[in-house]
Structure formats: structure tokens, C-alpha cells
């Protein structure tokens, strides 16, 4: 049942597990809309006050303060709705990078309705670091090139972000092996999300088929 909040799927996991890759692919599938917090940040003008503030934190591998994160993300969300890129409630938001900690869950509780969580899992830290370094070279992402910064990001994730999983009911969380190939991961993700989307559409007064 639509209550005014935006129906959302969270892509969750440590840095480098492939949240952005899977989110980008899902965003091309009708019925899903990908809105990455990292992409929102990277789209900011680095010379703007908000852009400079974001860069000061991200360049050190630290999380951007919650109030600033949520304010910028909500502004972006409203912009996507205003120009009809994202069409709620028929499309499910695919989110990665937000909510990033329990405080952000509370701040967004009146904005998003989390229907399911895809937890991309990899226990091998060295493999994750290698993947992030290769991504930095391929995508020209300077914030991913420094191993010290990468390790700081993992420490921050374990300390501040991982508790997000514990804030949601276990029955809406699915674990997927992040080290499988991207197509294999995608198949696993879709097997979980198609029933979720079908159930959501059936809950709406007028099913948008």
C-alpha cells in the first residue's frame, strides 16, 4: 500500500562489492530507478560550497555528515521527480550508499519505504581492495586509488554502516555472493527483486501494467 513514501530497495555491502554496477544495470530495467548517493555527490560542482565540503570528507575516506548527506540526496531525489525521470510509486528506487547508518535510517523514515535489502557479501578484504584499485584506474576515480584511504573506508563501514543491517527485519534481507561474475550476481538479485516488485504493484489501487 502506497503511503506517500517512496518504495525502495537497498543495495548494501562493503566498498567494492559491486553496488554501483548492479544498481546501474537495474536502473535500465523498467520498473526500477537507480539513485546512488555516490553519484549524487560526484555530480556536484567541486567549486560549490557543498561540493568542497563533500570532497573534504570523501578524499580522506570518511563519511559525509548525516545532515549534509540527507539534505543533498533529498534535493537530488526531488529534482529527478520534477523532471519525470523517476516516477513514484510505480517505480522502485534502487539505492546504494544511503541510508548509511542508523541515524540516516531515522532521518529518512518518512521519505522511503524499504521493501527489501540486497546484501552483497565478500569476506576477502584483499580481493575487495584489489577490485577498488582496478576500478579507480578504469573509471578515473581518484578517491579509490589510495590504499590507506580504502582501508579507512572499510573501517568506517564496519563501525558505522554495517549496523544498518541489524535495523531491518531479517525476512526482508537477502545475501548474495559479491565475488560471482556480474551477470551471475544480477541473476541472483533479480530472483529476489522480481517477486518484491510484483507484490508491490499488486498492492497499488491501479496496477500500472
Question: What are the domain boundaries of the chain?
Answer: 6-202
pLDDT greater than 90 at residue 185: yes
To the question of domain 6-202 being in CATH 3.40.50.300, the answer is yes
pLDDT greater than 70 at residue 209: no
The predicted pLDDT at position 37 comes to 86
**Positive/negative CA dihedral, 98, 100, 105, 106:** negative
pLDDT greater than 90 at residue 29: yes
The predicted pLDDT at position 8 comes to 97
How sure is the predictor about 123, in pLDDT bands with cuts at 50, 70 and 90? Answer: confident
Helix 182-203 × helix 19-26 angle, to 10°? 50
Contact 57, 64 (CB under 8 A): yes
Task: Report the first-to-last Cα separation within the chain, whole angstroms.
Answer: 17
Contact 36, 20 (CB under 8 A): yes
What pLDDT digit, counting tens, does each position of 90-107 carry?
999 999 989 988 999 999
Weakest mean pLDDT among 112-126, 142-156, 157-171: 142-156
Helices (H), 140-181: 147-156, 163-166
The predicted pLDDT at position 208 comes to 46
Q: Average pLDDT of the chain?
A: 87
pTM over cut 0.95: no
pLDDT greater than 90 at residue 171: yes
How sure is the predictor about 173, in pLDDT bands with cuts at 50, 70 and 90? Answer: very high
Residue 45 vs residue 118, higher pLDDT: 118
The predicted pLDDT at position 124 comes to 77
Eight-state DSSP code of residue 17:
S
Amino acid at each position: 500500500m502506497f503511503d506517500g513514501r517512496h518504495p525502495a530497495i537497498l543495495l548494501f555491502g562493503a566498498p567494492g562489492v559491486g553496488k554501483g554496477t548492479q544498481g546501474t544495470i537495474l536502473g535500465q530495467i523498467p520498473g526500477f530507478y537507480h539513485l546512488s548517493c555516490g553519484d549524487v555527490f560526484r555530480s556536484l560542482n567541486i567549486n560549490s560550497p557543498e561540493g568542497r565540503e563533500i570532497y573534504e570528507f570523501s578524499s580522506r575516506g570518511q563519511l559525509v555528515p548525516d545532515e549534509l548527506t540527507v539534505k543533498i540526496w533529498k534535493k537530488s531525489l526531488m529534482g529527478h521527480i520534477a523532471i519525470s525521470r523517476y516516477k513514484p510509486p510505480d517505480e522502485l528506487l534502487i539505492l546504494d550508499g544511503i541510508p548509511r547508518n542508523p541515524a540516516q535510517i531515522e532521518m529518512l523514515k518518512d521519505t522511503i519505504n524499504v521493501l527489501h535489502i540486497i546484501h552483497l557479501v565478500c569476506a576477502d578484504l584483499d580481493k575487495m581492495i584489489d577490485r577498488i584499485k582496478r576500478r579507480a584506474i578504469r573509471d578515473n576515480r581518484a578517491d579509490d586509488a589510495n590504499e590507506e584511504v580504502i582501508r579507512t573506508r572499510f573501517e568506517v563501514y564496519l563501525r558505522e554502516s554495517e549496523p544498518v543491517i541489524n535495523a531491518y527485519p531479517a525476512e526482508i534481507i537477502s545475501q548474495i555472493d559479491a565475488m560471482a561474475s556480474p551477470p551471475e550476481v544480477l541473476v541472483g538479485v533479480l530472483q529476489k527483486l522480481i517477486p518484491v516488485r510484483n507484490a508491490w504493484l499488486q498492492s497499488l489501487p491501479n496496477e500500472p501494467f
